[in-house]
């Protein structure tokens, strides 16, 4: 039910299901609680990966999604070029080699060979990967679904309950079993509290593509559909304290933040997205993102706003929920 590349919202793609030999492929030790002592393993992990198929690649976003195997385990490997940072430009210009491709009047193009540490590729490993994970990263058409209150009760909710999407990796974070060192801010209150930490799309080396996730300590809120007036203190607390924490840590004011929820979400535990305004992160479009400020105001106007209103959202062609809507004659 997700649309974007290489993201934390992964229908449990980033869970504690990772096998011991492949659970650590990211340089910042994300989603598994790895320690510095595991770093040598990171250097050789991809040598055992056997490619089966390229699921999707994007020259514009400079990433590629590959299906394959580690030994007898299915896996998906995501490779993406890291951003060029302003603070590395001087070293990039002085330490790189240029090879001329073409020159015409005032225009010339070159192939630039940067120093290795300035030419990194971020690698994300999902292993063991299920068929759902493989389909998730394939290039597919999307369809806009119209979900009424009745549709949610008769189609979406039964589907969610039957699928039992794993959120164990979320509980690992909340219980400090994983990623404890990456938490930017925490309010431990069991009712209105949350943890704020970087989404793994963000390499944390510049604020231009800042992306953090606030995950609630409450475990019984699946999505936007569950929110009522009783949750206003929680939402307001996240909105206010999340912005304050980002200002203090990254010197980024609230006026430069996009704060929103997804519907449908990719995992069914309430979480809020914080992006730098201007960073066009996948999933921030109007067909899926709901600004937290709007959500709060809508619930203040009508306590059951999200329980009763018709919601629209995109689903990929292979999504099981899309199939349920087709079976019900709703698409």
**How far is CA 283 from its chain centroid?**
9
Question: Residue 265, Cβ neighbours under 10 Å: how many?
Answer: 23
Instruction: Work out the end-to-end distance of the chain between its first and last CA atoms, rounded to an integer number of angstroms.
Output: 16
Burial classification of residue 292, based on how many CB atoms lie within 10 Å of its CB (0-12 exposed, 13-18 middle, 19 or more buried): buried
Structure tokens at 125: 């490993």
Candidate list 133, 271, 273, 290, residue with the active-site label: 271
Distance between CA atoms of residues 99 and 103, nearest Å: 11
Burial classification of residue 149, based on how many CB atoms lie within 10 Å of its CB (0-12 exposed, 13-18 middle, 19 or more buried): middle
Q: Which of 170, 164, 256, 181 is nearest to 213 (CA)?
A: 170
Known catalytic membership, residue 271: yes
Q: Which residues are known to be catalytic?
A: 271
């Amino acid at each position: 039910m997700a649309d974007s590349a290489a993201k934390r919202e992964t229908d449990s793609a980033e869970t504690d299901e990772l096998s011991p030999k492949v659970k650590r492929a990211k340089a910042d030790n994300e989603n598994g609680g790895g320690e510095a002592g595991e770093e040598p393993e990171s250097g050789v992990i991809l040598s055992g990966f056997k490619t089966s198929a390229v699921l999707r690649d994007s020259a514009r976003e400079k990433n590629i999604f590959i299906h394959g195997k580690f030994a007898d385990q299915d896996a998906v490997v995501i490779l993406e070029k890291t951003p060029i940072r302003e603070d590395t430009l001087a070293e990039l210009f002085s330490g790189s080699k240029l090879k001329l491709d073409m020159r015409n009047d005032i225009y010339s193009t070159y192939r630039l060979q940067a120093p290795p540490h300035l030419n990194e590729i971020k690698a994300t490993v999902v292993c063991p990967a299920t068929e759902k994970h493989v389909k998730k990263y394939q290039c597919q058409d999307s369809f806009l679904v119209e979900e009424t209150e009745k549709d949610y009760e008769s189609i979406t909710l039964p589907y969610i309950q039957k699928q039992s999407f794993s959120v164990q990796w979320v509980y690992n974070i909340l219980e400090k079993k994983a990623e404890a060192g990456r938490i930017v801010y925490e309010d431990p209150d069991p009712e209105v509290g949350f943890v704020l930490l970087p989404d793994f799309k963000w390499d944390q080396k510049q604020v231009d593509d800042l992306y953090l996730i606030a995950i609630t300590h409450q475990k019984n809120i699946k999505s936007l559909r569950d929110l009522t007036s009783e949750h206003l203190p929680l939402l307001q607390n996240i909105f206010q304290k999340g912005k304050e924490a980002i200002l203090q840590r990254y010197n980024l004011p609230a006026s430069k933040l996009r704060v929103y929820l997804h519907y449908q979400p990719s995992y069914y535990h309430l979480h809020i997205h914080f992006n730098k305004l201007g960073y066009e992160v996948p999933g921030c479009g109007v067909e899926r993102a709901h600004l937290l400020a709007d959500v709060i105001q809508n619930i203040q106007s009508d306590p059951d706003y999200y329980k009763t209103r018709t919601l629209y959202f995109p689903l990929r062609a292979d999504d099981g929920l899309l199939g349920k809507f087709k079976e019900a004659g709703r698409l």
